[in-house]
Amino acid sequence: MKRVGDILKESEIKFNEALLLLSGLLNTDKSTLVAHPEMCVDSGTYSMWQTHHDRRLAGEPIAYILGSKEFYGLKFSLTPDVLIPRPESELIVDRAFEFINMGLQGGNNKVLVLEIATGSGAIILSLVNKLSSCQLLDYVDLTATDISLNALKVARKNARALNVEGVRFVQGDLFAPVAGNKFDLIMANLPYLPHGEAVRNEYEPQIALDGGDNGDELINRFMQEARHFLRPNGLILYETYGGVIKELTFDTMSKQC
């Protein structure tokens, strides 16, 4: 048996990270561990802690060690096949919700939503959760795509865990899986790191990070294709380098292209 207070004191990783890792392992919250340093863990759990601790010491992200990450207040399961969702992408959920809500108030009776490159499903599933809590789910039609089948497995698992049934998950390159369809709202967080920067990240999947030599290969292709899939009055929300969220309307797109 080992006391929680001693485990945290002996840890060689940052205190906050140790707290997060240990609370994840013990399935409790951080404040409980701080309030009860006298709590004991059995030898099996301690040995698992040592493994987790050493993985973190070697540089592995905590989200992969624990197999989950919080996004938009929800817990998402993760595997090394998917990007760890970043807090800056939460802005896409907020803006998407605002757009859908305004569209419905303005008389649109069904909003067609597409997410390209869904990864763990964090963005679209958080949006569903928010729409559902406002009883708006019946008024949206949702599709999410990714080129990675393994990522889609994670997204589907997260949908089940969150009791979400309405999202159509389809595999393929950018818009290929939705050929012939048009949407009111298109969201995307595509790989946008320049190749040289992406390869320095040894934990997250290169397919989720690497945007080619300058980082803009996927985004440029996405922009070229997107105008054929956007309905008049539609909106495109996408993330670019540095976690900056940009938006384009049907009108601004038509002028650009």
CB 248 within 8 A of CB 95: no
Element (DSSP H or E) covering residue 247: strand 244-249
Element (DSSP H or E) covering residue 153: helix 149-161
Please say which residue, 7 or 177, places its beta carbon nearer to ligand SAM.
177
Nearest distance in Å: CB 84, ligand SAM: 7
Q: Is 167 in the site for ligand SAM (CB under 6 A)?
A: no
Query: Which residue is closest to ligand SAM by CB?
Result: 119
Indicate which single residue of 89, 126, 143, 158 sits in contact with ligand SAM (rule: CB under 6 A): 89
CA 56 to chain centre: 21
Indicate which single residue of 19, 62, 122, 226 sits in contact with ligand SAM (rule: CB under 6 A): 122
Q: Is 211 in the site for ligand SAM (CB under 6 A)?
A: no
Q: Is 144 in the site for ligand SAM (CB under 6 A)?
A: no
Stretch that binds ligand SAM, among 13-21, 53-61, 94-102, 111-119 (CB under 6 A): 111-119
Please say which residue, 23 or 189, places its beta carbon nearer to ligand SAM.
189
Q: In the chain, what are the helix, strand and coil shares in percent, each to the nearest 5?
A: 50, 20, 30
Q: Is 146 in the site for ligand SAM (CB under 6 A)?
A: yes
Residue type, 245: I
Please say which residue, 40 or 176, places its beta carbon nearer to ligand SAM.
176
Beta bridge partners, 192, equal none
Nearest distance in Å: CB 232, ligand SAM: 25
Say how far apart CA 246 and CA 61 lie, in whole Å: 27
Indicate which single residue of 4, 25, 111, 119 sits in contact with ligand SAM (rule: CB under 6 A): 119
Number of residues that bind ligand SAM (CB under 6 A): 24
CB 43 within 8 A of CB 84: no
220-245 in b/e form (b: 16+ CB < 10 A) is eebbebbeebbbeebbbbbbeeeeeb
Q: Is 85 in the site for ligand SAM (CB under 6 A)?
A: yes
Two tokens, residue 199: 């390869």
Nearest distance in Å: CB 170, ligand SAM: 10
Please say which residue, 11 or 118, places its beta carbon nearer to ligand SAM.
118
Task: Pick the closest to residue 126 from 102, 162, 153, 150 (CA basis).
Answer: 162
Nearest distance in Å: CB 119, ligand SAM: 2
Task: Strands of 73-198 (E only): list them.
Answer: 74-77, 111-116, 140-146, 167-171, 183-188
Nearest distance in Å: CB 174, ligand SAM: 5
Binding site for ligand SAM (CB under 6 A): 82-83, 85, 89, 116-120, 122-123, 145-148, 151, 173-174, 189-191, 207-208, 218
